[in-house]
Structure 1
């Protein structure tokens, strides 16, 4: 009996250690603008128990590596180089040494690339060019580097805001869970363009329908799918709204549009990012200028959003944010105060509490978690 008891204790010890290892945290990758003092892509270890951040590595050699994406096996990191002669860069990431090594840089096929994603096969990078109003597909080579664009699709048109919608402005690339439907919000044309990806060839073809219209002057920007695969949401930069859609393969049908700002707010409308909690129960959106995150609960059957509250961010211009995989923390990148701040998150209510923990990073733009 004593031996059995010891074996049980040993088994419990191993299970406990495994649990701690699984929940100990993740690596936080931070894309930045290098216009001031940033050296490139910053990597930190995030402790999911304490909320502390510890510096790990810096990926150098690229100008304005603002938005990032990972290969499915997490061995490679891809970034845009957000500038007039836009580019895409590939880095190898060594998990043993926690080092980022620049592999190569290729043209993005258009000016001002602002968003990037990798398909689920790990064969294709798709980049959205805000300045050029286009999107490009680049092949991923066997060594993880990127090849030259095999396809560039130029958007056409404009919308009602003469200052911001004078031409197309592709703002994000979003591949559906089926790895076939690709939804591309275009801030300049007030359309969410729809494409079909052939994962064997990397070719994109127009969807049916080819686009979903948004409200004139809305300026669709970032986009996210609900974990249940039935709903999708877009945050709209120019009129500070979020629209919910029923998603079926190749098609979006809008069911609700809500404001991200208080009714009495009179300042600039300038939304940025949108994310859903891992359990699918809450949605968050960032308001630059108002310097806040808006919080909504999500009806699991209908997708309808219900307002929960606003949370001020200790900083300016919350460009991007992320919810950690445990759902217990939310991190915000404040571009114009050069800081990344940590909130604890109530899983039951969705509300946020400032922890006072932060790191200083010059002009943070994108936050990505690697487990």
Structure 2
């Protein structure tokens, strides 16, 4: 954090004109100690940088460009500026998520449009140097009645959506279209090779995921069924579906589509964003991470809560359609958001990440 910035620097992804959005690129936001936010400006113009990830040790940001079907590295310049670090690299159709290896060796990109899972090697400066495509997914529910692509109503297709770097060094990815979770091992010269996979219920639509550290439990938010699937590792290291329950205390509404899931810093609560009815659902984490119990649904404070960030007792929610980031204070005992503390106007925000 620069001494010229009053608070913590947050990078904001957005949809730009090529995706019918109102953003201009990657935005820079200052988050003050009292939880309020201020807009610093556009850090760098970029085409629909809808999801961002920050290098673990370098001032480098990675952004997917959904409509352009690329991924690019950006290097920090000055207090809150960014500049391209190398050229944009080809990704896949509707590249929608990027994550970074904790050791800074590679990034992984998931592509909603064609199901591609892509690994890109990084150099010592954080620049992209190579590209490897992982083996395509196969539908574990092929031929099952009701097996249609919920996004289009047609034939089911692979729709990779997110990746998570597991604590043991493996990588887990979700496939919304095939209701599938895949686990990978990384090899420097070949990229990702399959370890095993876990099928989730037909029509659930696994989207985003987090890992609870106590028992290595994985919480997966399902976009279509609006649930949280809980995966636990067995003695052989293979994950199994332990349970699947509602993501909300009050149940899903017609038109709901779950978006982001995040843990509180102390791992006692999980927060699920629900687009459509525009809620943030609070779930208590129990049994050292082996149980989730929905405790409250709170209006998100805007339209289409696509992503949210939990930090230092505050919840910041990026509302894609109402062009704002809403901030709540979190009750330290119950984890429940209180009244809206602040509203920051910004064009079509899609992701919020703390800068290095």
Q: TM-score, normalised by structure 2?
A: 0.89
State the shift of 1:152 in Å: 4.1
| 1:301 matched to 2:288 | yes
Aligned length: 340
State the shift of 1:350 in Å: 0.7
**Correspondence for 1:197:** 186
Cα offsets for 1:132-172 (capped at 9, x unmatched): 11111111133332134133432233762334272000000
The structure with the largest alpha-carbon Rg is 1
User: Comparing both structures, which one devotes a greater share of its residues to helix?
Assistant: 1
3-state DSSP of counterpart to 2:259:
strand
Query: How many Å separate the matches in 2 of 1:270 and 1:302?
Result: 24
Contact kept? 1:139, 1:202, Cα under 8 Å: no
Map of 1:323-362 to 2, 5 A cutoff? Answer: 323-324=310-311, 326=312, 328-362=313-347
Query: How many Å separate the matches in 1 of 2:45 and 2:123?
Result: 20
Which stretch of structure 1 is more off in the superposition, 252-261 or 309-318?
252-261
Change (3 A) 1:313 1:131: same
State the shift of 1:226 in Å: 0.9
**Correspondence for 1:251:** 238
Cα offsets for 1:162-197 (capped at 9, x unmatched): 342720000001110122x11111000011011111
| 1:40 matched to 2:47 | no
**Correspondence for 1:283:** 270
User: Comparing both structures, which one devotes a greater share of its residues to strand?
Assistant: 2
Query: How many Å separate the matches in 1 of 2:210 and 2:93?
Result: 24
Contact kept? 1:46, 1:53, Cα under 8 Å: yes
Map of 1:143-154 to 2, 5 A cutoff? Answer: 143-154=125-136
Query: How many Å separate the matches in 2 of 1:152 and 1:205?
Result: 7
**Correspondence for 1:6:** none
**Correspondence for 1:122:** 104
Unaligned residue ranges in structure 1 (runs of 5+): 1-20
Change (3 A) 1:161 1:314: same
Query: How many Å separate the matches in 1 of 2:299 and 2:250?
Result: 16
Contact kept? 2:278, 2:305, Cα under 8 Å: yes
Which stretch of structure 1 is more off in the superposition, 256-265 or 188-197?
256-265
Which stretch of structure 1 is more off in the superposition, 314-323 or 54-63?
54-63
Query: How many Å separate the matches in 2 of 1:61 and 1:103?
Result: 13
Q: TM-score, normalised by structure 1?
A: 0.86
Map of 1:255-274 to 2, 5 A cutoff? Answer: 255-261=242-248, 266-274=253-261
| 1:89 matched to 2:72 | yes
CA RMSD in angstroms, aligned pairs only: 2.1
Contact kept? 1:87, 1:105, Cα under 8 Å: no
Contact kept? 1:285, 1:295, Cα under 8 Å: yes
| 1:312 matched to 2:295 | no
Map of 1:8-157 to 2, 5 A cutoff? Answer: 25-35=7-17, 36-47=21-32, 49-83=33-67, 85-94=68-77, 96-157=78-139
